[in-house]
Structure 1
């Protein structure tokens, strides 16, 4: 099993960053390539540029610690486990946002985690405005 983690420092308070990253249905407001993101209960349906659709189920959320985890379904990849976790914590006068991927088998982990790194870069630009 592969575990890949990316993090980024953001010059905003943890609450400001969490207001964006913590919004399970808000990916289409800031993440490049996301055309739509619709939440029904604890499931979000994402449409990515080019028409690909992905379903993600929120499996854990801790508002006090600014973190949630989700599994990814309907992606078409031959993986048995795909668990992602996002988190925001204080770092000096700003924040650190982290996106962690656990995937089995690990064949696609680096590529998917690269998408998360790009998303964190976009998040930083969006939140810091």
Structure 2
């Protein structure tokens, strides 16, 4: 399995950041590449509509407000990979917090580095926009 992990330190308290990103159905509110989102199956399946016209379907596996963490699986998407499980987590620090967005996956039809680069770009764009939104 391949892995991608991106971290963003923020000056904001962990609870404030989690209030914004902990909503599985709210990714389009802070991620600039996600232009729309549909929820189904009691809020556990989300269909992301990206700026480039592509889409991805993801299933919420676990979510914990106490841990400020949720894990989801990719059900369908444009990237050539299998068994993708991703985690979005906010960890408190002495001053502020760290947001960690990571995933493990099995490449299918593309090199591992191509998929890693695409996921890293997606995560970094989102976390940079999150930081800007919280600063503004």
- Given the two structures, how large is their TM-score scaled by the length of structure 2? 0.87
Worse-matched range after superposition: 1-10 or 71-80: 71-80
SS at match of 1:77: coil
Q: Is 1:9–1:91's contact at 8 Å kept on the other side of the alignment?
A: no
CA distance in 1, matches of 2:58, 2:34: 13
SS at match of 1:28: helix
CA RMSD of aligned residues (A): 1.3
- Number of aligned residue pairs: give it: 129
Unaligned regions of 5+ residues in structure 1, if any?
none
Q: CA deviation at 1:113?
A: 2.1
CA distance in 2, matches of 1:2, 1:26: 27
1:12-51 matched pairs, under 5 angstroms = 12-40=12-40, 41=42, 42-51=44-53
1:49-60 matched pairs, under 5 angstroms = 49-60=51-62
CA distance in 2, matches of 1:50, 1:33: 8
Q: Is 1:16–1:127's contact at 8 Å kept on the other side of the alignment?
A: no
Q: 1:117 aligns with which of 124, 129, 135?
A: 124
1:67-78 matched pairs, under 5 angstroms = 67-78=69-80
- Given the two structures, how large is their TM-score scaled by the length of structure 1? 0.92
Unaligned regions of 5+ residues in structure 2, if any?
none
SS at match of 1:89: strand
